[in-house]
Chains A and B, each alone.
Chain A
């Protein structure tokens, strides 16, 4: 056992890649499903996987920032639903396209901002604030939609607007879905913000040691509010892409999304206690969830198993992380 740990550490040192364990796991899944299913390793299916994980991925990028600064956000699924409902209802009310989109994204960002303010200035724990916000935003989404499905169709929305709007979710550029391109752009931007700007630097500092950050003159409150606003904004983007992809939306859209996003971040090696984590790790975490879901369906296994398997993966991923760390300390 010790030998294995040493081997892993040696590999880590050589490669300099922290995410080596989970990238091996992802690779293993690829190989496994490619052997078990003839359809898995086809370009069409791989693009399909990319599309399936795009919305989760966009939110998980924001979740990385929030978790690394030592907090958590349970409201993202509801913000995702509420943003989509707001834009959808405005569109069918013949509000101009740009304004509808702006209002949807604005709502997500605003709710995120409120989360941040309540957590930092009113000092309510994030778990409670975002649990409350999860219900508030979900309730507002149901009220706004009146509990009905909001359908975007030529009968309800101006034809020119509808075409442009649906392209975001359904269109492809060079055979790659537009929403996946959005995901990739978001991932690159967050990757750069996280590792290459003072904002990302401070997010890591605040999560690493709140007291040291404060004593170094870092305004912890502002940093956290920005992180929560970003995840609110990203939830809005994902929500809009969702309604655009489906052409309709209802008040319950996005339930459970928050837990999948948190799962992806944790599988990606980010510590729930803050300060530690990487965007590449989260990316791999998102892909592991996507590949598992896709592969299980291709193999004809009951989709009910998805939940069970992902649950096992979360626990194993964290256990491996603790295990390798212990090896390092010893």
Chain B
């Protein structure tokens, strides 16, 4: 076999993060090549580089032995490289045939748009994939699995030689996943090369020929599936030396004083997302929750904070039964939540720091007839800027003009102003540079010392291990493990999460 794709010294840096650092390896023609690694290891970034979404800062890609320039998606497709992204890129309002030939409507008919011909071709391709999807069906009416097949069919219709699948099974049921694997073997039988990016080691070991491991943006090696075990791969993904170092440096958690429960969750279920969640959050504790994308980690927090339309089970806060039907009620019950998507749900980008900090404390910031107490608001902002060292030239600066780290500090300040007792955090440091991260972790510890009980959902393994007193691991909507003390190692967390 010969290499169809070769990565040579690929580097890519985002503000504050080295996403890819000197990646060198090659993909053989006709193989199923799996790429594994934890969240943020660089898998998706590398595939985005290959698909023309990102431009590497350094390095080159060889395609069929010669230097390939891939400035955009379309060039990648023309070369024969097709990426099926996690978020499918189909026009939901168009039919299967229309999606298949989008942008190439005239090619088949030699300059004329011939839909009937395209429809017949589409049907042929779908039949080859063993699918009975009607090419005239509108895409939004198809299941996710079938939409994925349409994406693969599109790649086939363009005579793709390499198909990249980025977490293809994350939205599929078990049966649908089996269908996908059958299609993958059909494709390889025709000589198509498959690059399979996944967290799920069972799948990887079931279908891949070779496995490459990335960690923290670096390439660790490529292994024949037959010559390596799952355990060894887990160790590689986790990085044994590092996690042991962290575990060794950990101080014993303050056992005796954190045994009063702040929050008790029993049999909490939300159909389609998670079921039978049962755990306690103790006072003055940082409880880390780790899970892969789609494991239900965000939905769990949303449910506790009153953002879910329906759920079952019981939640007790400080011994009292509560059922938050809206964030308003949750805030009244002493909860606060720092959301995952800061830009969309955390900040008011067009409002200034003073206003942002005062959005969750209506009782204090306004007086008779709802008249704003501007002096109070300003003072609160001054205090927050000082105590959390928010870097800004003025408290009247609009939030959209602050860096991610400072925006997050404003969000934290806003919730502190509402005097919460339980703080729910989803991806505390997403999109925040390294320096600001350290500061925010320090703030987190201070808040715990001041008496807050904190749940911190994170997809960053290093973060969740270093910052939590205890870790819950969630896998596919149910609780996989609760880890404490010595058990909080990268291998164990990953072992339960995968």
Q: Interface on A for B, CB 8 Å cutoff?
A: 196-199, 201, 204-205, 208-209, 211-219, 275-276
Contact = CB atoms under 8 A, between A and B. Distances in A.
A23 to B, nearest CB: 21
B71 interface: no
Contacts of A214: 307, 326-327, 345
Interface stretch (B58-66, B117-125, B367-375): B367-375
A209 B345 contact: yes
A198 B372 contact: yes
Contact of B355 (A201, A215, A217): A201
B353 to A, nearest CB: 14
B486 interface: no
A197 B339 CA distance: 27
B156 to A, nearest CB: 39
B379 interface: no
Contact of B362 (A198, A209, A212, A215): A198
Given A205-B359, A209-B348, A216 B414 contact: yes
A212 B345 contact: yes
Given A198-B366, A205-B348, A217 B327 contact: yes
B404 interface: no
Given A197-B366, A201-B372, A217 B331 contact: yes
B70 interface: no
Interface of B: 305, 307, 326-328, 330-332, 337, 339, 344-351, 355, 358-360, 362, 365-366, 369-372, 374, 414, 418
Contacts of B331: 216-217
B425 to A, nearest CB: 13
Contact of B346 (A204, A205, A212, A275): A212
A213 B418 CA distance: 14
A216 B360 contact: yes
B337 A215 contact: yes
8 tightest CB-CB pairs across the interface, nearest first? Answer: A217-B328, A211-B345, A198-B370, A198-B366, A217-B331, A208-B348, A216-B359, A197-B370
A82 B351 CA distance: 37
B346 A215 contact: yes
B350 A275 contact: yes
Contacts of A276: 350
A217 B363 CA distance: 12
B352 to A, nearest CB: 11
Contact of A209 (B337, B347, B365, B418): B347
Contacts of B371: 196-198
A51 to B, nearest CB: 31
B359 A218 contact: yes
12 contacts: A198-B365, A198-B366, A204-B348, A205-B359, A214-B327, A214-B345, A215-B345, A216-B414, A217-B327, A217-B328, A218-B328, A219-B328
B442 to A, nearest CB: 25
B372 A208 contact: no
A269 to B, nearest CB: 13
Contacts, number: 79
A208 B328 contact: no
Given A214-B326, A217-B332, 4 more contacts: A201-B372, A208-B348, A215-B327, A217-B418
Contacts of B414: 216
Given A196-B372, A215-B307, A208 B349 contact: yes
Contacts of A204: 348, 350-351, 355
A275 B332 CA distance: 26
* Most B Cβ at <10 Å: residue of A198, A208, A216: A216
Contacts of B332: 217
Contacts of B347: 209, 212
Contacts of B358: 201
Given A198-B372, A199-B370, A204-B351, A209 B327 contact: no
Nearest to B358: A201
A217 B370 contact: no
Contact of A197 (B330, B346, B351, B372): B372
Contact of A275 (B328, B348, B418): B348
A192 to B, nearest CB: 9
A216 B351 contact: no
B170 to A, nearest CB: 24
Given A197-B372, A199-B370, A275-B350, A209 B360 contact: no
Nearest to B369: A197
A275 B400 CA distance: 13
A209 B344 contact: yes
B332 to A, nearest CB: 8
A174 to B, nearest CB: 30
Nearest to A328: B401
Contacts of A201: 355, 358, 366, 372
A204 B339 CA distance: 20
A181 to B, nearest CB: 23
Contacts of A219: 326, 328
A214 B305 CA distance: 11
B339 A209 contact: no
A213 B370 CA distance: 17
A211 B344 contact: yes
Contacts of B305: 215
A196 B346 CA distance: 23
Contacts of B351: 204-205, 208, 275
Nearest to B342: A212
* Most A Cβ at <10 Å: residue of B339, B366, B418: B366
A188 to B, nearest CB: 14
Contacts of A215: 305, 307, 327, 337, 339, 345-346
Contacts of B362: 198, 217
Contacts of B366: 197-198, 201
A216 B350 contact: no
Contacts of A216: 327, 331, 359-360, 414
A260 to B, nearest CB: 26
A218 B331 CA distance: 10
A201 B352 CA distance: 12
A205 B361 CA distance: 13
Contacts of A211: 344-345
Contacts of A217: 326-328, 330-332, 360, 362, 418
B169 to A, nearest CB: 29
* Most B Cβ at <10 Å: residue of A205, A212, A218, A219: A212
Contacts of B369: 197
B396 to A, nearest CB: 10
A215 B371 CA distance: 23
A60 B418 CA distance: 35
A3 to B, nearest CB: 23
A212 B344 contact: yes
A219 B368 CA distance: 19
A289 B331 CA distance: 45
Nearest to B366: A198
Contacts of A212: 344-348, 359
Contacts of B370: 197-199
